[in-house]
Structure 1
Amino acid sequence: ILLPHAAIPGTLLAILAFSMIGAGVGAAGTSLLAMLASGVVPERRAAAAAITWIMMVAGIVMAAATAGSLIDPFSEQRLATVSGGVALSAFLLAWAAISGIERRLVAPAHQNDDAPSASFGEALREIMADGTARRFTIFVFVSMLAYAMQDLILEPYAGLVFGMSPGESTKLAGLQHGGVMAGMIVAGIGGSAFAGRRPSDLRWWILAGCGGSALALAGLAFAATTGGDWPLRVNVGLLGFANGLFAVSAIGAMMGLAGAGQQSKEGVRMGVWGAAQAIAFGLGGLTGALGVDAARGALASDGAAFQLIFAGEAGLFVLAALLGVRVTMRSASPSMVAAPA
């Protein structure tokens, strides 16, 4: 509402608001992963994390579908009203969900009361000194960077290249997250995360998820200069499905490796990996958005700009697939494997 009448104050307020959203999401997500790793028995950690992600994605799908229906016919006042309603509903629901949760949390299932507590700095040095943990940190960063790059540009892509309205493009994002949820469920039913297997058992799921995401992004890159008849909704749904396969298998590997350290507790290691994930997610969204804007200015073509960014994102997923397969294969050594179910 403020931007059309006072561009500078409106822009500063928008920067502050988005920064607060990012900080809140990063802090809450990292703390939740640490709580899952330290408060759930080892054989159920991956399942708990996967179910948490599925519920999160289900909420995104519901919110996107509802908001997409409500903001058409589009107006700035209508957008502000719907956005405010979504934000207030999310806050109240989150408050109700976490109220008193630490009092109800059972004692950590895997702890040694006699072991000295390690500081975050000591835990970080231990992880960086551990080859497998260090490579997994890099894998988390690269894969989440690739995962997040289309987050802020998919809807503008649908509008600029395919002529979709804001409501239609919002529903398209809901379709993508519906695909993510379906991919997570398929991976879980397939036995990867929910069976409590070793990280090395998950490498084919990671390869399938990252490889499928790269192919789907290559399709979006190709469609950027063809538009029109391209089956965009199918392409976006397949991208979400592959993202879901990757996400749930990465969660399973993360939980399996969380207890591999000799001194660090699971929560601290998950905190480090959660921080890498949060930083990469924020940086990915920023890189994708700034990259498209810069490419549009340099190439003077919307389609070519999106094509460049989607192609780069596909390349990152290929790199993530190679890193993920390598790190999970190396984790097969006895010292790096979490206790099987």
Structure 2
Amino acid sequence: MRALQRGLALLLGLVKTFRLALPKLGVGWMFALLTINFNRITIGELGVAAFAVTTMLGLHYFFSPFQVIAGRFADRNPIWGLRRTPYLLMAAVLGSLIFLTLPSIAVAMGNGNPLGYVGGFAALITFGIAIAIMGDTHHSLIAEVTSSRTRGGVISVVWTFTILSTIIASVIMQQVMPEYTPALMQRLYNLTPLIVIGSAVLGIIGIEKRLTSGELAAALEAAQQVAPARNPLRAAANALRDNSQARGFFIFVFLAIFAIFLQDNILEVFGGEAFGMSLKETTGFQQVWGGGVLIGMILMGIASSIFPLSKRFITTLGCLGTAAGLAVMAAASFTGQASLVRPSLMLMGFFTGFFNVGALSMMMDMTVEGATGLYMGMWGMAQAFGNGASSISSGLLHTGLIETGLVSPALGYTLFFGFEAVVMLTSALIIMRLSVERFHGIQQSYLTRSDFTRAMDSGAVV
């Protein structure tokens, strides 16, 4: 009987974990449309300046601080006793409906209509706000409905769903839109509300516990108590100023994320311009890279559980391997060897999987008890700014090198991927000089009592 109860509890736990991960399918679908399809169509097929497109696509990263605002508001303003579910669903509806307008916006931009650019920026600013709300409410829901013992496993499954969703999305794109026509693009983007809202509803309805009137009053009182009296950004700045290891790690995260994702918005364009690949062929790039990431994460996860590998070693190995993959991609562009593209993507993805395992673990170690939220918020901000800067810079480099005719596409992309490899090697040199032990030693020496209080206040809400 007890075995049956344990089996049933395990099954229910697995179903709950699966449901909590489902909303990431919709999020991954939206990001895949933007970074795999929308960028290729607007830049490669419609001739829109890459800098304009990648700037639009990078906007949402700079709305990451909006998560703090959304989280505070949801804490203090439950709807029907629920603080996460209604806000996540509303954000899913808002974010997904934006995609219905993007095919028309792309055509308008291609025709040089200024209203197309205005509409594009407005749509993606709105998307940035919606995705910030979805991110905060989803992560808060996971934190509130899981125990500390099971949370790590749930987060691993959620991360896996995020990668899988982009692979699945690229397969669907290949089938629905093998070549560009406005009608096929609209048909593809019309799937977005169904996928995003459907995955959110199936994933979270009934998961969150509805608060009673007494619980609601207690939750509102707690939300008032944890609201910081001081500026959390100032507390973060003080932490970076006082701890050279924290400052170095912030720079490392920014540079590594910048290097990994600099090619994200122009990779499909590269396949078309450098090798004349079709839309269907370049859409498959994400499957190769994402598959490499999953394999790398799984293998390193197993290896690190068997062998005493340091997190810094894993992270450094990931940086060096990713740089090697970027170097092979640069060689493919320079020599015109299209056969090297997919192996280099697999190599990049495989070692990016190593990087994910090591760097995410180091982020959790590079925190201070009582101010975990502050430090995780700092590392998250470094990631967001690295992503945003890479998105804008990729378009700027493409426009400055290739669209202006300054260099040929082959040489331009050689310089592009070579630059990424150099930045990745630089990040490897930085992480080799950092230490979790030195971080905590400096923190204990420099963090005054008032700073620690400020960090605790900020960490409650970041």
Q: 2:236 aligns with which of 117, 124, 127?
A: 124
**Contact persistence 2:319–2:425 (CA under 8 A):** yes
Deviation string 1:56-95 (CA, Å, 9 cap, x unpaired) is 1111111112112221143122122212313541343235
Whole-angstrom distance in 2 between the partners of 1:169 and 1:206: 29
Residue 434 of structure 2 aligns to a residue in which SS? helix
Q: 2:251 aligns with which of 138, 150, 162?
A: 138
Deviation string 1:189-232 (CA, Å, 9 cap, x unpaired) is 1226x99x9xx921111111111111111111111122245321
Code of the residue aligned with 1:325 in structure 2: it is M
Whole-angstrom distance in 1 between the partners of 2:136 and 2:390: 17
Q: Confirm whether residue 304 of structure 1 aligns to residue 416 of structure 2.
A: no
**Aligned match of 1:283:** 389
Q: Confirm whether residue 69 of structure 1 aligns to residue 150 of structure 2.
A: no
Code of the residue aligned with 1:124 in structure 2: it is A
Code of the residue aligned with 1:77 in structure 2: it is A
How many residue pairs match? The answer is: 322
Whole-angstrom distance in 2 between the partners of 1:132 and 1:41: 31
Q: 1:15 aligns with which of 121, 129, 137?
A: 121
Code of the residue aligned with 2:345 in structure 1: it is V
Whole-angstrom distance in 2 between the partners of 1:118 and 1:53: 34
Whole-angstrom distance in 2 between the partners of 1:216 and 1:289: 21
Matched residues, percent identical? 27
Whole-angstrom distance in 1 between the partners of 2:128 and 2:336: 32
Q: For structure 2, list consecutive stretches of 5 or more residues without a partner in the other structure.
A: 1-103, 211-224, 445-462
Relative to the length of structure 2, the TM-score reads: 0.61
Q: 2:427 aligns with which of 317, 320, 328?
A: 320
Q: Confirm whether residue 157 of structure 1 aligns to residue 264 of structure 2.
A: no
* Cα gap change, 1:66 to 1:252, in 2 (>3 Å): same
Q: For structure 1, list consecutive stretches of 5 or more residues without a partner in the other structure.
A: 105-113
**Aligned match of 2:460:** none
Deviation string 1:120-153 (CA, Å, 9 cap, x unpaired) is 2454145222332222211111111112101101
Code of the residue aligned with 2:430 in structure 1: it is L
Deviation at 1:164, TM superposition (A): 1.2
Whole-angstrom distance in 2 between the partners of 1:156 and 1:70: 19
* Cα gap change, 1:163 to 1:242, in 2 (>3 Å): same
Deviation at 1:267, TM superposition (A): 2.1
Whole-angstrom distance in 1 between the partners of 2:145 and 2:310: 24
**Aligned match of 1:238:** 347
Deviation string 1:274-297 (CA, Å, 9 cap, x unpaired) is 122112111112111221121112
**Contact persistence 1:206–1:325 (CA under 8 A):** no
Deviation at 1:43, TM superposition (A): 7.3
Q: 1:215 aligns with which of 304, 324, 339?
A: 324
Q: 5 Å matches for 1:37-186?
A: 48-86=154-192, 88-94=194-200, 96-99=202-205, 103=209, 119=230, 120-121=232-233, 123-128=235-240, 129-186=242-299
Whole-angstrom distance in 2 between the partners of 1:126 and 1:38: 30
Code of the residue aligned with 1:215 in structure 2: it is A
**Aligned match of 1:204:** 313
Residue 335 of structure 2 aligns to a residue in which SS? coil
Deviation string 1:272-320 (CA, Å, 9 cap, x unpaired) is 2112211211111211122112111252411111111111111111111
Code of the residue aligned with 1:310 in structure 2: it is F
Residue 347 of structure 2 aligns to a residue in which SS? helix
Q: Name the stretch that deviates more: 46-55 or 166-175.
A: 46-55
Relative to the length of structure 1, the TM-score reads: 0.81
Whole-angstrom distance in 2 between the partners of 1:228 and 1:79: 30
* Cα gap change, 1:282 to 1:95, in 2 (>3 Å): farther
* Cα gap change, 1:118 to 1:42, in 2 (>3 Å): farther
* Cα gap change, 1:6 to 1:285, in 2 (>3 Å): closer
Code of the residue aligned with 1:81 in structure 2: it is R
